[in-house]
Structures are given as structure tokens and as C-alpha cells.
């Protein structure tokens, strides 16, 4: 929904919207593919073996536009809307540009509109977590009720004590027999002390039990949520931003937990005190209590009306805070890209805009809660004043004793405190329910592709023959763009088949389909006669296929653990063997800590060529029957390329290999070269035959040779210039 309300920044918002499509070609896709290409079970292994958490990231497609800071007048708004009765009380303190409600930057394309109403709290799911703690919950509830009971009883006892004290009122100190005074007071005083003690004991108990329930529930929700998120289809990650997902795992679970604990402790206690206190008010003085009762329906109506509009505001505010988190996450995770494109300050500006929007929404929410609390306090204090005046009047007519009036006032104060607490709780309940709804939404999400189930090909019939038969494909996020059309290809066992073609012609897509990252929309893919759709994805990625990416992602742990990630069950000898095969062993041995060297976040402390070789070792460790190489040397300089290429030459021996080629010089020796153009095969042959044809492949080769010559000339003209490009 594009809504440009005010003019000054309209143009920049619009330009941003038009020019900044959200980039799907991103590093975080790579990282997810890395995890999925090793089978999901191993990602949890990773969690236990490395200290850092996964930080998949997105690369901004364009530098941010928009977000200038022209300031405008303050706007104070009182909105009446919703279902006709809902009332939003708040104010808006915004700058003009904030009114551009369509994301005018790399936030474009996020899944949820800020006012998404589809997300509902799933009570059933909640119960399924809660039921494991039923014993403790009942204990906590009983303890909270006991506290409420004592809170109700204490005013009565205080009344008794005051009535006894009143008997001594007016007497001078020497007239009072101290012994009989203390004898008189001892009973109620000890009882009162006993109640104070019991109240403290039960308070301790319910807080302890609730914190145990809350923490245990939050931990299992977090674990389940992480599991449920990480097993989703890649399509899900194409839709959702990392920051938003992390936010659900952290802030939302935290909000939900706090709100749950507060509801049971304060909420239950306040409710019990409200009911119990109300009863004792009637017990003490039905006349006064009936007068006080008149104001209750007013409070109830106020509660429900404001509750509804505040919940709506809370949802908006949480969604906005998620957006702000994504901006910072994305920028920090891609700090090199940000630095290389000198975008630090535009990132700061984007973050400022998003956090400011978030602050405005939170302030509106706070204002709503404040208005509610102020009104409820006013009502309740009015009630106390009325009680005092009327009570004094009744006392003068001798229809109520001083002790009863005291007891009534203390009980009324208890009721008032409960109501006031209820209003504070309201904000937390709203936030908690919204957070819970968002958490449970993902918990209920089932991936289309079940990672664990499916066939495994028996070892005796495993040869590594891959067939694509009339495969058609469109990405779920772009249903109108056909990426592969009638794609048919056979990879014979042990053959090396190279895919070449212009950028965007669909080469990587073919690899993604073979990895079953996505399902073809037409045709079928088979491996040794078994339909890919029937093969277990975990087995396929964990054992059958090795995938070496163009820019491999390492995890922030040791070299040893990074290689072992390929097959967690591998022995040390096997890890070293894979390292030798990938020509990593020599350079690793020369490092001071050898295989225990930490590689830094995403392997940043290693060179591109070293990272690549570690990734090759990782892929070889599982001894895959099929290997996919997404042009593993294209990001390297000539010296590293030669080393990595020789590692790859060793790796492809006796394996069916699909090479996605960007540099045609590297695939001259491939058994078959397949030329793709706009998702269709246009030529098939080997290097010599295709050159002879003088067709599409020939043109590509010539084009690249010309480019290389130009680059060489440029380098010769400006030696020493660092031509590396980050990203
Ligand atoms: N996750 C995705 N969601 C939507 N569209 C995508 C996605 N990944 C790729 N595409 C689109 O599919 C088309 C083919 O992309 P693909 O990555 O397969 O091309 P490629 O030949 O490997 O390109 P390159 O050589 O530049 O890596 C492109 O138009 C691309 O924009």
C-alpha cells in the first residue's frame, strides 16, 4: 500500500520505491544454502560446537535514498475509528517524511504490512507449552491466591486492632494498665504478624514458581521456533528478513514470557484481591459498597474500549521495531559492503528513520496507556474521597464504627490498587499477546518440503546419474518470470557437465533445483532413476551431493570444526584427509594454531582462496557421489585460482559434477558444456565442437577474452591498484 500523505519528501520516497527493489541475490541466501546443503540436522550440531550464533545477512541492493529531515509542525491527533467504537488516544509527533508509509528503501518488499491483522494468538498452542508445568502453575496460582487472601484479611484484622486501640483513646497514659493493654493487643497483633509472615512466604513461592515456568517455557518456545524457522523452505527466507526472524526469536519470546509471568503474578493476585476485596467491602458496609459499585461498569467499558485500540497500536509498534532491528542487523552483518560503498551515514539515517517511527508508535502506545491510567486513578481516587465523606457521615450517625470505616478504607485502597495494577498490566498483556501471536504463527508454519522424510538410494544402485526431464521453473516470489523452460539434460555417472550462459540465464537455479532448494514447477528430475521429489532432502544434501559455492561461507569457529561441518560424524583422520585432498593441509599446518585456528565471523580471517579450499574440504568430507561447483574460482586472483583449481581437479575425479561456469577458461576440459540462454538450452557439446559451431558459446568465449584483455591492459596501466570488489 503506497500512501504518500504529505508533499516535501514525496519524490524521494517514490524514487526509492521505484529504484530499490529488494535484493534477493544476497549473502544470507548463500548462508542458508550452506546450512541446507549440509542437511538441517547438522545445523544444530553447529550450535553446540561454535561459540558464535548464526548471523545470516542481506546485502543491500542499492544505497538508501529518501529520509531527509525536513521538519514539520507537531500534530496532535485524537482518532475515532476502528469498528465504530474503538478509540485511539494518543498524539503524533512526526516529521513530514515519516508520513511516507511505503518503504522507500531497501526495506521494500517486507512480508507484513505494519497493520497486519491476520496474526492471532493461538491459545491451543499456548496450552501445549503450559501443560508441562501444570503442577508448578497450580502451585503458583494457589500461592498467589493465598497472598490475595491475606491481603484481603489484613484490613479486617487492622480494623479489629484499631477498634481495640480506640477503646484506649482519650485515656491518659497513667490510667492505662500496660499488662492488660498488651494482653488485649496480643491476639490481633500476633495474628497480624502471622499473616504478614505467611503473605511474604507465599509471595516468595509464587514468584519462584512463576519464574521457573516462564523461563522453561521461553526456552522451549525459543528452541522450537528456531527449529521451525530453520527447516522452512528457502522460499520462506526469500520472503522474510533475517532481522525480523531474529526479533521473533529474541524480543517477542521475551515479551511473551514477561507478560505471562506478570499476568499470573500481578494479574491473578489483583483479580483475586479485587473480588475478595469487593466481597469484604460489602461485608463491612453494604451501604458504602453499593455506592462504590456504581463506578465499576464505567471502568469495565473503559477497559475494553481502550484495550482494543491499544492492542492494534501495539501490533504496529512491534512490527515497526522489527523493521528497525533488520536495518541494523543487515548493515552490521554486511559491514564491508557498507564500508566499501561509503554508506555508513545513509545506514545511520535509515536506522534513525526506522527507530524514530518505532519511537513514535511506542509513544502513542505509552500515551494511550498513560491516559487510561490517569483516568482510572482519577475515578478510583474519587471513589476513596466519596467513601471518606459518606463514611464520615454514616459514622456520625453511628451506623458504622471507626474501625469499620478504617477497614473499609484499607480494603477500598486494596481494590483501588488492584484496579490500578490491572491498568498497568493491560499494556503488558497487550504486548505479550501480540508477541505470542507472532511467535506461535511461525511455530505453526510447516515447510512444503519435509527435510527428514523420503527415500535414500541403496548403495548398490547408486551411480550418480542425473536427469532433468522437461523441467520448468518460476521462483515463488516472482511467479511471472519463467526462469527455466523445458530444461532437459542428462549427467552420466562420473561426467563433468558445465553450465554456461549470460548472467541471469538460470545456471544457479539448475543447481538449486538439483539440491532441492526449490521444487520444479513442471517436468521432473531423477537421480539413478529415483525421482528427486521422493528422495529425503537431508540425505540428498547431507550425503549424496557436495556443494561448493562461489563465495563459501565459513562459520566463526575453528578450521577443524568448519571442515567437520561437512560430516559431523567424521574422524580426525578423515578430516585431515579431506584437507589434504583440497590442498588445505599445508597452509593450515603453517598457522600457529593449525586446525584450531579460529577463522572469524564468516571466515573473514582467511584469504578467499583459503576459504575456498576449506569449503572444498568440507564438501569432500562427505565423499559425495555428485558434486556441484558454483564456479568456485571466479572470486580468486590468478595465484589462488591455480591452487584451488588443482584442488578441484582432484575433487571431481570419479564424481558426477555439475559446474556452474562464469569463467569459460576453467571448463575447457568438461565432458559436456551446456549453453543456457534465458532459461533454455541453446547449445550442447564439448569445448572444441562448440567453438567449431561458432554459435552462442563461441561468442561468449570471444567476449570474455576481450574483457580479459581489457582488464589486463587496465592493470598494466595502473599497477598496484587494488581491484578487489567487496560484496
Ligand atoms: N531467490 C530468487 N527469487 C526470485 N528470483 C530469483 C531468485 N534467484 C534468482 N532469481 C532470478 O532468476 C533468474 C536466474 O537466476 P540465476 O541465479 O539462476 O542466474 P545465473 O545464470 O546463475 O546468473 P549468474 O551468472 O549471474 O550467477 C534471474 O533473473 C534472477 O533474478
- Pairwise CA distance, residues 581 & 571, whole Å: 15
Main-chain phi, psi angles of 659, to 5 degrees? -105, 125
Ligand 1, atom 28: nearest CA belongs to which residue?
504
Q: How many CB atoms lie within 10 A of CB 619?
A: 28
Helices (H), 457-571: 507-514, 537-539, 559-564
- What pLDDT, on the 0 to 100 scale, is given for residue 118? 56
pLDDT of 473 over the 60 cut: yes
> If you measure from the C-alpha of residue 218 to the centroid of ligand 1, how many angstroms do you get, rounded to a whole number?
39
Q: Report the residue among 507, 521, 676, 681 best suited for mutation to probe ligand 1: largest number of ligand atoms under 8 A from its CB.
A: 507
- What pLDDT, on the 0 to 100 scale, is given for residue 11? 33
- Pairwise CA distance, residues 551 & 553, whole Å: 6
> If you measure from the C-alpha of residue 551 to the centroid of ligand 1, how many angstroms do you get, rounded to a whole number?
16
**Could you tell me if 305 and 87 are in contact, meaning their C-beta atoms sit under 8 angstroms apart?**
yes
Say yes or no: CB of residue 475 within 6 Å of ligand 1.
Answer: yes
> If you measure from the C-alpha of residue 633 to the centroid of ligand 1, how many angstroms do you get, rounded to a whole number?
19
- Pairwise CA distance, residues 517 & 482, whole Å: 17
Nearest to 322 by CA among 258, 257, 252, 260: 252
- What pLDDT, on the 0 to 100 scale, is given for residue 201? 92
pLDDT of 356 over the 60 cut: yes
Number of continuous H segments (helices) and E segments (strands) in the chain = 24, 12
Q: CA Rg, the chain, in Å?
A: 35
> If you measure from the C-alpha of residue 83 to the centroid of ligand 1, how many angstroms do you get, rounded to a whole number?
45
Query: What residues does CATH 3.40.50.300 cover in the chain?
Result: 459-554+623-712
Ligand 1, atom 13: nearest CA belongs to which residue?
504
Q: Which atom of ligand 1 is nearest to the CA of 25?
A: 8
> If you measure from the C-alpha of residue 346 to the centroid of ligand 1, how many angstroms do you get, rounded to a whole number?
28
CA 150 to chain centre: 43
> If you measure from the C-alpha of residue 674 to the centroid of ligand 1, how many angstroms do you get, rounded to a whole number?
17
Cβ neighbours of residue 397 closer than 8 Å, sequence gap 6 or more: none
Least confident of 115-129, 323-337, 664-678, 710-724: 710-724
> If you measure from the C-alpha of residue 482 to the centroid of ligand 1, how many angstroms do you get, rounded to a whole number?
11
Sign of CA dihedral 28, 33, 38, 40: positive
CATH 3.40.1190.20 is held by the domain 459-554+623-712: no
Which triple of cell numbers denotes residue 616? Answer: 572444498
> If you measure from the C-alpha of residue 255 to the centroid of ligand 1, how many angstroms do you get, rounded to a whole number?
39
Say yes or no: CB of residue 504 within 6 Å of ligand 1.
Answer: yes
Q: Report the residue among 22, 23, 25, 31 best suited for mutation to probe ligand 1: largest number of ligand atoms under 8 A from its CB.
A: 25
> If you measure from the C-alpha of residue 679 to the centroid of ligand 1, how many angstroms do you get, rounded to a whole number?
10
Residue 712 or residue 12, greater confidence = 712
- The pLDDT > 70 percentage for the chain reads 76
- What pLDDT, on the 0 to 100 scale, is given for residue 249? 82
Q: Which atom of ligand 1 is nearest to the CA of 511?
A: 18
Say yes or no: CB of residue 478 within 6 Å of ligand 1.
Answer: yes
Q: Which atom of ligand 1 is nearest to the CA of 676?
A: 21
Q: Which atom of ligand 1 is nearest to the CA of 29?
A: 1
Q: What is the mean pLDDT of residues 566-583?
A: 86
> If you measure from the C-alpha of residue 89 to the centroid of ligand 1, how many angstroms do you get, rounded to a whole number?
48
> If you measure from the C-alpha of residue 379 to the centroid of ligand 1, how many angstroms do you get, rounded to a whole number?
63
Say yes or no: CB of residue 483 within 6 Å of ligand 1.
Answer: yes
Residue 65 or residue 370, greater confidence = 370
> If you measure from the C-alpha of residue 30 to the centroid of ligand 1, how many angstroms do you get, rounded to a whole number?
13
As a whole number, the mean pLDDT across the chain is 74
Say yes or no: CB of residue 509 within 6 Å of ligand 1.
Answer: yes
Least confident of 70-79, 224-233, 288-297, 567-576: 70-79
Q: Report the residue among 508, 520, 682, 703 best suited for mutation to probe ligand 1: largest number of ligand atoms under 8 A from its CB.
A: 508
| Topology classification of domain 123-285+400-443 | ABC transporter transmembrane region fold (1.20.1560)
> If you measure from the C-alpha of residue 509 to the centroid of ligand 1, how many angstroms do you get, rounded to a whole number?
6
Say yes or no: CB of residue 24 within 6 Å of ligand 1.
Answer: yes
Q: Which atom of ligand 1 is nearest to the CA of 510?
A: 18
pLDDT of 49 over the 70 cut: no
What tens digit of pLDDT does each residue of 362-375 get?
888 888 878 877 77
Say yes or no: CB of residue 505 within 6 Å of ligand 1.
Answer: yes
What tens digit of pLDDT does each residue of 438-470 get?
888 888 888 888 887 888 888 888 888 899 999
Q: What Cα–Cα distance (Å) separates residue 40 from each residue in 43, 151, 513, 541, 578?
A: 5, 53, 17, 9, 22
Query: What residues does CATH 1.20.1560.10 cover in the chain?
Result: 123-285+400-443
Q: Which atom of ligand 1 is nearest to the CA of 550?
A: 27
> If you measure from the C-alpha of residue 86 to the centroid of ligand 1, how many angstroms do you get, rounded to a whole number?
47
The band of 418, judged by pLDDT with boundaries at 50, 70 and 90, is confident
The band of 115, judged by pLDDT with boundaries at 50, 70 and 90, is very low
> If you measure from the C-alpha of residue 59 to the centroid of ligand 1, how many angstroms do you get, rounded to a whole number?
15
pLDDT of 721 over the 70 cut: no
Calculate the dihedral angle through the C-alpha atoms of 40, 42, 45, 49, rounding to the nearest 10 degrees.
-120
Say yes or no: CB of residue 507 within 6 Å of ligand 1.
Answer: yes
What tens digit of pLDDT does each residue of 504-563 get?
888 889 998 998 889 999 899 999 989 998 888 888 888 888 888 777 778 888 899 889
Ligand 1, atom 4: nearest CA belongs to which residue?
475
pLDDT of 707 over the 90 cut: no
Q: Please return the burial class of 572, using the count of CB atoms within 10 Å of its CB with bins 0-12, 13-18 and 19+.
A: exposed
Q: Report the residue among 477, 504, 632 best suited for mutation to probe ligand 1: largest number of ligand atoms under 8 A from its CB.
A: 504
Which residues is 627 bridged to in the sheet? Answer: 546, 657
Amino acid at each position: 500500500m503506497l500512501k504518500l500523505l504529505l508533499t516535501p519528501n514525496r519524490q524521494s520516497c517514490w524514487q526509492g520505491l521505484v529504484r530499490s527493489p529488494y535484493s534477493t541475490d544476497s549473502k544470507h541466501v548463500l548462508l542458508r544454502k550452506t546450512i541446507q546443503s549440509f542437511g538441517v540436522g547438522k545445523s544444530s550440531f553447529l550450535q553446540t560446537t561454535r561459540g558464535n550464533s548464526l548471523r545470516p545477512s542481506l546485502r543491500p541492493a542499492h544505497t538508501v535514498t529518501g529520509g531527509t529531515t525536513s521538519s514539520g509542525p507537531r500534530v496532535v491527533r485524537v482518532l475515532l475509528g476502528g469498528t465504530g467504537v474503538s478509540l485511539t488516544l494518543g498524539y503524533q509527533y512526526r516529521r513530514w517524511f515519516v508520513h511516507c508509509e511505503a518503504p522507500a528503501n531497501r526495506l521494500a518488499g517486507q512480508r507484513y504490512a505494519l497493520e497486519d491483522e491476520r496474526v492471532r494468538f493461538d491459545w491451543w498452542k499456548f496450552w501445549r507449552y503450559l501443560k508441562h508445568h501444570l503442577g508448578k502453575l497450580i502451585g503458583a496460582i494457589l500461592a498467589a491466591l493465598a497472598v490475595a487472601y491475606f491481603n484481603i484479611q489484613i484490613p479486617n484484622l487492622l480494623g479489629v486492632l484499631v477498634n481495640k486501640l480506640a477503646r484506649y483513646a482519650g485515656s491518659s497514659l497513667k490510667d492505662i494498665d500496660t499488662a492488660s493493654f498488651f494482653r488485649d493487643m496480643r491476639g490481633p497483633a500476633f495474628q497480624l504478624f502471622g499473616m504478614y509472615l505467611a503473605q511474604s512466604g507465599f509471595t516468595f513461592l509464587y514468584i519462584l514458581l512463576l519464574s521457573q515456568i516462564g523461563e522453561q517455557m521461553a526456552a522451549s518456545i525459543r528452541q522450537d521456533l528456531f527449529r521451525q524457522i530453520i527447516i522452512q523452505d528457502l522460499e520462506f527466507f526469500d520472503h522474510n528478513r533475517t532481522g525480523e526472524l531474529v526479533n521473533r526469536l529474541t524480543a517477542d519470546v521475551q515479551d511473551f514470557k514477561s507478560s505471562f509471568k506478570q499476568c499470573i503474578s500481578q494479574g491473578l493476585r489483583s483479580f483475586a484481591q479485587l473480588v475478595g476485596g469487593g466481597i469484604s467491602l460489602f461485608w463491612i458496609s453494604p451501604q458504602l459498597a453499593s455506592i462504590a459499585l456504581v463506578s465499576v461498569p464505567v471502568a469495565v467499558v473503559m477497559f475494553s474500549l481502550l484495550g482494543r485500540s491499544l492492542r492494534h497500536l501495539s501490533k504496529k509498534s512491534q512490527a515497526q521495531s522489527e523493521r528497525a532491528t533488520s536495518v541494523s542487523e543487515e548493515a552490521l552483518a554486511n559491514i564491508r559492503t557498507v564500508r566499501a560503498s561509503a554508506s555508513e551515514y545513509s545506514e545511520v539515517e535509515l536506522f534513525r528513520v526506522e527507530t524514530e517511527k518505532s519511537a513514535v508508535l511506542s509513544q502513542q502506545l505509552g500515551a494511550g496507556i498513560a491516559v487510561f491510567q490517569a483516568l482510572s486513578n482519577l475515578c478510583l481516587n474519587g471513589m476513596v474521597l466519596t467513601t471518606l465523606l459518606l463514611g464520615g457521615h454514616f459514622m456520625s450517625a453511628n451506623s458504622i464504627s471507626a474501625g469499620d470505616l478504617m477497614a473499609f478504607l484499607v480494603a477500598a485502597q486494596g481494590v483501588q490498587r488492584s484496579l490500578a495494577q490491572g491498568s498497568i498490566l493491560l499494556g503488558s498483556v497487550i504486548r505479550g499477546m501480540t508477541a505470542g501471536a507472532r511467535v506461535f504463527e511461525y511455530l505453526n508454519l510447516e515447510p512444503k518440503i519435509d527435510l527428514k522424510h523420503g527415500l535414500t538410494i541403496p548403495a548398490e544402485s547408486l551411480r550418480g546419474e542425473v536427469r532433468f526431464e522437461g523441467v520448468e521453473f518460476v521462483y515463488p516470489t516472482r511467479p511471472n518470470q519463467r526462469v527455466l523452460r523445458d530444461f532437459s539434460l542428462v549427467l552420466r555417472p562420473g561426467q563433468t557437465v558445465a553450465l554456461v550462459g549470460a548472467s541471469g540465464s538460470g545456471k544457479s537455479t539448475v543447481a538449486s533445483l538439483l539440491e532441492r532448494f526449490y521444487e520444479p514447477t513442471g517436468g521432473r528430475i531423477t537421480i539413478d532413476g529415483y525421482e528427486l521429489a521422493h528422495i529425503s532432502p537431508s540425505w540428498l544434501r547431507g550425503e549424496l551431493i557436495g556443494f561448493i559455492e562461489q563465495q563459501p561461507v565459513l562459520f566463526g569457529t575453528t578450521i577443524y570444526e568448519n571442515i567437520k561441518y561437512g560430516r559431523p560424524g567424521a574422524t580426525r583422520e578423515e578430516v585431515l584427509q579431506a584437507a589434504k585432498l583440497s590442498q588445505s593441509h599445508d597452509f593450515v599446518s603453517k598457522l600457529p594454531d593449525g586446525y584450531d585456528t579460529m577463522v572469524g565471523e564468516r571466515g573473514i580471517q582467511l584469504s578467499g582462496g583459503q576459504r575456498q579450499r576449506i569449503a572444498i574440504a568440507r564438501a569432500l568430507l562427505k565423499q559425495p557421489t555428485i558434486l556441484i561447483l558454483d564456479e568456485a574460482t571466479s572470486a580468486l586472483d590468478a595465484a589462488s585460482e591455480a591452487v584451488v583449481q588443482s584442488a578441484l581437479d582432484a575433487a571431481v575425479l570419479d564424481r558426477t559434477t555439475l559446474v556452474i561456469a562464469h569463467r569459460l577458461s576453467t571448463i575447457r576440459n568438461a565432458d559436456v558444456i551446456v549453453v543456457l540462454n534465458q532459461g533454455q538450452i541453446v547449445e550442447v557439446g564439448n569445448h572444441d565442437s562448440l567453438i567449431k559451431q561458432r554459435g552462442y558459446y563461441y561468442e561468449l568465449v570471444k567476449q570474455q577474452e576481450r574483457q580479459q584483455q581489457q582488464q589486463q591492459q587496465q592493470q598494466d596501466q595502473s599497477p598496484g591498484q587494488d581491484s578487489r570488489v567487496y560484496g
